[in-house]
Amino acid sequence: MKVVIAEKPSVARDIAEVLNITTKKKGYIEGRGCTVTWAFGHLVTLQEPGEYDPALKRWSLDTLPFVPDEFKLALIKNPGGEEQFRVIKLLCEQAEEIVCATDAGREGELIFRYILALCHCEDKPIRRLWLNSLTPDAIQAAFKDLKDGHDYDALYAAARCRSESDWIVGLNATRYYTVRHGQIGGGSDRVLWSIGRVQTPVLAMIVERDDTILQFWPQPFWELTTRYREVVFRYTGQRFEQPEKAQALLEKMSGQPFVITGSAGKESKEQPPQLFDLTTLQREINKQHGLSAADTLAATQNLYEAKLVTYPRTDSRYLSHDLKPRIPKIMEQLKAIRAEQIAPLNLAKLPFTTRIIDDTKVTDHHAIIPTGVRPRSLSANEQLVYEAITTQFIAAFYPVCIKNITTVDGISAKVKFQAKGTQIVEPGWTALFPKKKISQDATDDQALPAFTKGETGTHEPSLREGKTKPPSHFTENTLLGAMEAAGKLVEDDTLREALKERGIGTPATRAAIIETLLRRNYIQREKKQLRGTDMGRCLIALIQDPLLKSPEMTGEWEEKLKQIERSQLDPDAFMDGISGYIRTLIHNGSARRLDPARWGSCPLCGKEVIKGKRAYGCSAWQDGCPFVLEPECKGIALTARQIQTLLQLRILPQPVRIDDEPRILILSTQGLPMDLHLPSAERQKKIEKGDRPAKTPAKKNE
């Protein structure tokens, strides 16, 4: 008997239908000498420490680090999971051959192999069903081309290393920081500090960005422009940091004519967009519609299971050569819903450029494209995502967009100016996308009339005062981009592609990482922005080990996992490195401790803080440092321990302007990193399960 194990019941039903297997039993479908059964996603997981040794149920520094000599497996506590596992185990024991039909990727392989291991059926012959879509044709083709299951041993090794390394770092670091710093605010309740190999560097990125913005001091500048024939010309020199120089030039031009000294135009070609991988799809949907990465992934997964799009968890934006014959057929099918957009394309001669077809850039899965199956009833999110994937697919085969970029030079009283304008000659692929709204300050895209060299006339010079702006808070769009490029903000497609090997997490896990941080109350959404909470800021302040919160180091670990997938790195070497790292972290005691002999450093200048009669202030006050910290803020009296926490960990106090000068640091009662704002370990567990109030209520008398 052949047993096929799918990841979900819905996929199992699709496979059974294509194979004409129709007899339904409890937990499986059988017929024609074949049985199709299913898991519920991750059915098997790694055992908890207390299952290795009951003494490890108690959290203590004495038992850390704990790294099992051999990891053991256990069933996930899931309603119905234990019963379904018994069905799978019985079928596997009777099977002559077992087919892995879980999702064709790292986590799908892990789900299957863990089930196989817990069934003690690892010695059975195994085959691999590798699917890029769930259409009947794709399923039939994949069954005709079943692979030897052991061809994917390296993929499983990488998946197992990912699972075990997350367990080692997460469990040991979480216990260490919770035991060492669970009572950071001096209260009786202990705070649960959750640490993760991937989630903590992402949190650090968000907190660091928030701090950069909070500490940013806007600097004034002045821009000199003039308006001639309703066109805005900008001064060609640097913008002015002092108004006097700009005012002098403005007065110099007053009453003087404006002369056109020349103009030049050049043709620019903008290439069609590349196809979507999961991360670029999530970024685009978040940017255009504000949908979260998790919601986009869920909608895309639903579209995949409805046979409308290909496999979503891909990091490739390319197609392989063997797909070329299928593309015109898909376009033909899409005419039923996109006839007007597909009409300009010659389906017999589609332009298969290297921006679309490249076998070297397709690993496990190709780019996300529509299958050609006509959609019926879609939810609002599914409709948004399907429209985006379909439009991107059609646009990839459209002509380039041709623009004329014109530059006009002018002068007045020897002061040089320049104006730029863009004219669309051939819209090409841009005709498929709504026009972007142009800011009133954007002068590079203004419509330019015909200018003649030497023409002259009156003009209207003006001086505009502005202020430098801080970087923007992360949105899911920009955070996903930074995660993909190992913490670097990269917009260039080529450079971002080169950094993918070192990205934080994978396309399949990045959305879950963001949702985990939200669920644990370490970050929060403010409209489209993602910002660190007091909990998140406090945790990052406590962690002194730079590697534990380093995007670059996490990116290096992810790169090594990909090397394991390609059989280029020994899995044991990777795990030895992880185990060595966690032992060093705990041995060195790299959690920040409070020094009871001092108050802390001044957040403005870094000098020591001293205690006065009524307040705390900077020891460099005679040198002009204005920092003062009142021990009472909005009716809340701060204890000495809380003052030390604030100043030594430098968690919250941030400079603000009063009367337009940085004079004092103000504390927000909503930002105090104390037990009245940090939930207890018991409360934190409820938060992680989804029981999260808008705000954690303060305790009385605090």
Do 524 and 457 have their domain in common? no
Rounded to an integer, what distance in angstroms lies between the CA atom of residue 388 and that of residue 391? 5
Closest CA relative to residue 109, chosen from 318, 313, 301: 313
Could you tell me the two tokens for 23?
A: 């007899």
Q: Out of 162-166, 180-184, 393-397, which region has the weakest mean confidence (pLDDT)?
A: 180-184
Top pLDDT among 501 and 577 is at 577
Express each pLDDT in 141-153 by its tens digit: 999 999 999 999 9
Q: Answer yes or no: is pLDDT of 653 > 60.
A: no
Same domain, 480 and 559: yes
% of the chain surpassing 90 pLDDT: 67
Of 92-106, 532-546, 584-598, the one with minimum mean pLDDT is: 584-598
pLDDT tens-place string over residues 317-372:
999 999 999 999 999 999 999 999 999 999 999 999 999 999 999 978 999 999 99
Residue 264, pLDDT above cutoff 90: yes
Give a yes or no: residue 599 inside a domain: no
Distance (Å) of CA 559 to CA 52, 169, 504: 31, 17, 9
Strands of 563-633, DSSP E: 609-611, 616-618, 628-629, 632-633
Per-residue DSSP letters for 627-660? -EE-SEETTEEPPHHHHHHHHHHT-S-EEEEETT
Q: What is the pLDDT of residues 280-312, one digit of tens each?
A: 999 999 999 999 999 999 999 999 999 999 999
User: What does pLDDT average to over the chain?
Assistant: 87
Q: Are residues 494 and 631 in the same domain?
A: no
Give a yes or no: residue 204 inside a domain. yes
Strands 126-128 and 97-101: parallel
CA dist 350 and 369 (Å) reads 16
Q: Which long-range contacts (CB under 8 A, 24 or more apart) does 214-221 make?
A: 214/654, 215/654, 215/655, 216/470, 216/471, 217/655, 217/662, 218/467, 218/468, 218/469, 218/470, 219/467, 219/468, 220/465, 220/466, 220/467, 221/465, 221/466, 221/467, 221/468
pLDDT over threshold 60, residue 441: no
Label the pairing between strands 2-6 and 97-101: parallel
685 part of a folded domain: no
Mean pLDDT, rounded, for 264-288: 95
Looking at residue 3, its amino acid is V
pTM for the whole structure: 0.84
Distance CA 44, CA 86 (A): 12
Same-domain pairing of 98 and 191: no
Instruction: Please tell me the predicted confidence (pLDDT) of residue 79.
Output: 79
Q: Span 651-672, mean pLDDT?
A: 38
Instruction: For residues 241-254, give the mean pLDDT.
Output: 94
User: Quick one: average pLDDT of 687-697?
Assistant: 42
What DSSP letter does each residue of 57-115 carry, written as one string?
A: GS--GGG-S---SS--EEE---TTHHHHHHHHHHHHHH-SEEEEES-SSHHHHHHHHHH
User: What's the angle, vertex CA 482, arms to CA 479 and CA 483, rounded to 5?
Assistant: 85
Which of 557, 588, 619 is a domain's end point? Answer: 588
Residue the block writes with tokens 């051999």: 70
Question: Is the CB of residue 338 less than 8 Å from the CB of residue 390?
Answer: yes
H-run or E-run covering 272? none
DSSP 506-523: -TTTHHHHHHHHHHTTSE
Using the 3D structure, point to which of 350, 375, 395 is the last residue of a domain: 395
Residue 120 lies in a domain: yes
**Average pLDDT of the residues in 586-612:** 79
- pLDDT score for 502: 78
Residue 232 has pLDDT above 90, yes or no: yes
Q: What pLDDT is stored for residue 591 in this prediction?
A: 54
Indicate if 33 and 154 belong to the same structural domain: yes
**Do residues 264 and 311 share a domain?**
no
Q: Are 364 and 314 in contact (CB under 8 A)?
A: yes
pLDDT at 696: 33
Reference 548, options 283, 116, 174; nearest CA is 174
Amino acid at 247: Q
Q: What is the pLDDT of residue 330?
A: 97
Residues 409 and 384 in one domain: no
- Evaluate the omega torsion of the peptide bond into residue 399 and state whether it is cis, within 30 degrees of 0: no
Overall number of domains in the chain = 5
150 Cβ contact list (under 8 Å, min separation 6): 126
In this structure, is residue 593 part of a structural domain? no
List all residues 6 or more positions away from 322 whose beta carbon is below 8 Å from its beta carbon: none
Short-list 363, 374, 376, 382, CA closest to 313: 363
On whether the CB atoms of residues 180 and 594 are closer than 8 A, the answer is no
| Three-state DSSP class for residue 674 | coil
Can you give the CATH number for the domain in which 389 is found?
Answer: 1.10.290.10
Same-domain pairing of 288 and 391: yes
Distance CA 424, CA 493 (A): 23
The residue among 165, 182, 176, 140 whose CA lies nearest residue 71 is: 165
380 in the same domain as 363: yes
Residue 26's alpha-carbon distances to 29, 83, 318, in angstroms, are 8, 10, 41
**139, 243: one domain:** no
pLDDT > 50? residue 661: no
Domain boundary among 467, 498, 519: 467
The answer to whether residues 208 and 297 belong to one domain is no
Residue 626: which residues within 8 A CB-CB, separation 6 or more? Answer: 604, 618, 662, 663, 664
Q: ∠ CA 540-544-549 to the nearest 5 degrees?
A: 55
In this structure, is residue 449 part of a structural domain?
yes
Q: 673 pLDDT band (50/70/90 cuts)?
A: very low
Provide the pLDDT for residue 494.
64
Report the C-alpha gap between 201 and 487 in whole angstroms.
9
Q: Which residues are catalytic?
A: 311
Judge whether 282 lies within some domain. Answer: yes
> Domain of 535: which CATH number?
1.10.460.10
Would residue 100 count as lying in a domain? yes
Res 253 pLDDT > 80: yes
**Higher model confidence: residue 396 or residue 435?**
396
Print the domain residue range for 118: 2-162
Render pLDDT for 386-415 as a digit per residue (tens, 0 to 9): 999 999 999 999 999 999 999 999 999 999
Instruction: Return the residue matching tokens 């941030």.
Output: 654
The Cα–Cα gap between 201 and 372 comes to 40
Does residue 254 share a domain with residue 241? yes
Residues near 542 by Cβ (< 8 Å), separated by ≥ 6? 177, 181, 184, 193, 591, 592, 649
